[in-house]
Amino acid sequence: MTDSQIHTPVMLDRTVELLAPALEGPGAVLVDATLGMAGHAEAFLRRFPDLTFVGLDRDPDALEIAGRRLAQFGERVHLVHTVYDEIGDALHSLGIQEATGILFDLGVSSLQLDRVERGFSYSKDAPLDMRMDATSELTAERVLAEYSEADLRRIFRDYGEERLAPRYAQKIVERRASRPLVRSADLVEIITAATPVAIQRKGHPAKRVFQALRIEVNQELAVLERAIPAALEVLAIDGRIVVLAYQSLEDRIVKRALAARSTSSAPAGLPVELPEHRPEFSLLVRGAELASDDEKSANPRATPVRLRAATRIRRAA
């Protein structure tokens, strides 16, 4: 299996359609803040022959695969090992002042899910790692070994929206007192044993716990809270941003950030909107768009996606 065969980009046609008006002119710069295995990237570079492309990723494995895949495009491609809230610094390091298009394809990547040894999947036994960047220190094993019961309960509740968070946290703390949890199968065993059978019938009981651990290990929500405003700051006038989110916590952050910058700041009742109160952005889609039924059937990873998009209409004074 080749690199290009192991990843099907989600909502590719719609993403290209939305970003195209910002990428067709001279000097266009597209930042893919979540490069992954470069499925979206390759499509954009083929479609827009004059495009300068900047790909960001915290995962060195993804950068290596993407580098091979995009080598055919030569000097048009710039890849940066960084977390996407550093988008401004990444561009400035390349001598680029602003982007005309920005894409975020959030969540765990296909590469991370498909490589069992990374430990992201509850369905396959592997070390409890879950790091998107293997050079970082915090792992899921450390979280489970070192966090207090209260902190485990908090992350399962807040990041996994798990109603059984107190029970799971208690059982993990009880288990680690006798022997450590080092494999994903260890954690799945504990969660399954602590879950009523009626709830197990509704889906895998470990799904939300694994999501919560992954978010904690990689600080995904905290990074995203900083990343969307940072991306909006470096977007050019008439530039466009598209964000694909896969769970409600991510989508909520994106929705709030885009809404705040696309709404007038004028006080209620003001007879005339002053220029400084006008919104800086305009939303390109109503609410969040979903993948089509055909795409969901062909690519199950598109099932939970929520797409939001905006264009910059002015800069704040």
Q: What is the pLDDT of residues 213-225, one digit of tens each?
A: 999 999 999 999 9
316/277 Cα distance (integer angstroms): 9
Is the pLDDT confidence value at 6 over 90? no
Residue identified by tokens 């939300």 is 208
Mean pLDDT of the chain: 91
Which structural domains are found in the chain, ordered by start?
3-105+220-312 (3.40.50.150), 125-218 (1.10.150.170)
| 1 alpha carbon, distance to own chain's centre | 25
Sign of the alpha-carbon dihedral angle for 148, 126, 56, 224: negative
36 marked as part of a ligand binding site: no
Which pLDDT band holds residue 268 (cuts at 50, 70, 90)?
low
According to the model, what pLDDT value does residue 116 have? 60
57 marked as part of a ligand binding site: yes
Query: CB 50: neighbour CB atoms within 10 A?
Result: 11
Which pLDDT band holds residue 267 (cuts at 50, 70, 90)?
low
217/160 Cα distance (integer angstroms): 13
According to the model, what pLDDT value does residue 50 have? 95
Encode 273-301: b = buried (16+ Cβ within 10 Å), e = exposed: eeeeeebbbebbeeebbebeeebbeebeb
Which pLDDT band holds residue 5 (cuts at 50, 70, 90)?
very low
Q: What is the pLDDT of residues 34-63, one digit of tens each?
A: 999 899 999 999 999 999 999 999 999 899
Amino acid (1-letter code) at residue 100:
T
122 marked as part of a ligand binding site: no
Q: What proportion of the chain, given as a percentage, has pLDDT over 90?
A: 78
Query: CB 31: neighbour CB atoms within 10 A?
Result: 29
Is the pLDDT confidence value at 1 over 50? no
Query: Which among 310, 265, 264 has a CA at the least distance from the CA of 288?
Result: 310
204 marked as part of a ligand binding site: no
According to the model, what pLDDT value does residue 65 have? 93
Is the pLDDT confidence value at 3 over 50? no
Query: Which among 113, 9, 74, 21 has a CA at the least distance from the CA of 312?
Result: 21
Asked whether the beta carbons of 66 and 90 are under 8 A apart, the reply is no
105 marked as part of a ligand binding site: yes
According to the model, what pLDDT value does residue 263 have? 87
Is the pLDDT confidence value at 2 over 60? no
According to the model, what pLDDT value does residue 114 have? 61
CA 45-292-1 angle, 5° bins: 50
According to the model, what pLDDT value does residue 134 have? 85
Greater model confidence, 37 or 272: 37
Separation in Å, CA 82 to CA 8, 120, 227, 235: 23, 20, 12, 18
Q: What is the pLDDT of residues 76-129, one digit of tens each?
A: 999 999 999 999 999 999 999 999 999 999 977 666 666 666 777 888 899 999
Q: What is the pLDDT of residues 273-313, one digit of tens each?
A: 666 668 999 999 999 999 999 999 999 889 999 999 999 99
Q: What is the pLDDT of residues 123-146, one digit of tens each?
A: 889 999 999 888 899 999 999 999
Q: What is the pLDDT of residues 160-206, one digit of tens each?
A: 999 999 999 999 999 999 999 999 999 999 999 999 999 988 889 99
Both tokens of residue 143?
Answer: 């979280």
Greater model confidence, 2 or 234: 234
